[in-house]
A and B are shown apart, each in its own frame.
Chain A
Amino acid sequence: GQSLEQPSEVTAVEGAIVQINCTYQTSGFYGLSWYQQHDGGAPTFLSYNALDGLEETGRFSSFLSRSDSYGYLLLQELQMKDSASYFCAVRDHAGRRALTFGSGTRLQVQP
């Protein structure tokens, strides 16, 4: 079956850097995505990696290693508003556009 593993909770302080890891076991692989979800809100897209390496978008970066079935989301210069749940998701079939999501990592940023 398909599975994605990520830590359930992470705590960090304002201004710090935090890395949220994701390992996946899927029958196929067509890209790793990251989504942010604030309590009661809609998931919003952060990043997408189809190829190995680091993608940077402002304070957020995402990394993928296909050979290790591993990726991470790096959040720099943490702000209180970054407190949210972060989900990794894999598209695991070429003909299946839907994503398989991990259970999410709840990030708490403390002053």
Chain B
Amino acid sequence: GAGVSQSPSNKVTEKGKDVELRCDPISGHTALYWYRQSLGQGLEFLIYFQGNSAPDKSGLPSDRFSAERTGGSVSTLTIQRTQQEDSAVYLCASSPGVGDTEAFFGQGTRLTVV
């Protein structure tokens, strides 16, 4: 596609429910990143994919968070048993994967846990 696409754009869920957030990176980009941004804050790194593998999962805040990437393209971030502190904007970015100096971000998914 022309840019990084994320869905849904907004998600309201009840505490304790599971949610899935989707990211479609720019076609041909091998590197994919998930970040989380709380209101008025910077971006917090969650996980990085190179192809289908995740060499860096160091930012996942707990074992309730997981992510996968299939076919070297679409990625899904899953949050199980959501908590109110999970409320944030979840941003996905992609980059070509070689000699990267720029990451291209999607518009994000605003998650609200009530």
Contacts and interface: CB of A to CB of B under 8 A. Distances in A.
A60 interface: no
B106 A97 contact: no
A37 to B, nearest CB: 9
Contacts of A16: none
Interface residues of A, number: 22
A100 B42 CA distance: 9
Contacts of B65: none
Nearest to A102: B42
Interface stretch (A41-49, A67-75, A76-84): A41-49
A21 interface: no
B41 A100 contact: no
Contacts of A95: 55
A4 B31 CA distance: 24
A98 B56 contact: yes
Interface in A90-111: 95-104
Contacts of A31: 101
B93 to A, nearest CB: 8
A101 B42 contact: yes
A45 B42 contact: no
B45 A43 contact: no
B95 A33 contact: no
Contact of A45 (B33, B45, B104, B108): B104
B45 A98 contact: yes
Contact of A97 (B42, B43, B48, B59): B48
B47 to A, nearest CB: 8
Interface of A: 4, 31, 33, 41-45, 48, 50, 87, 89, 95-104
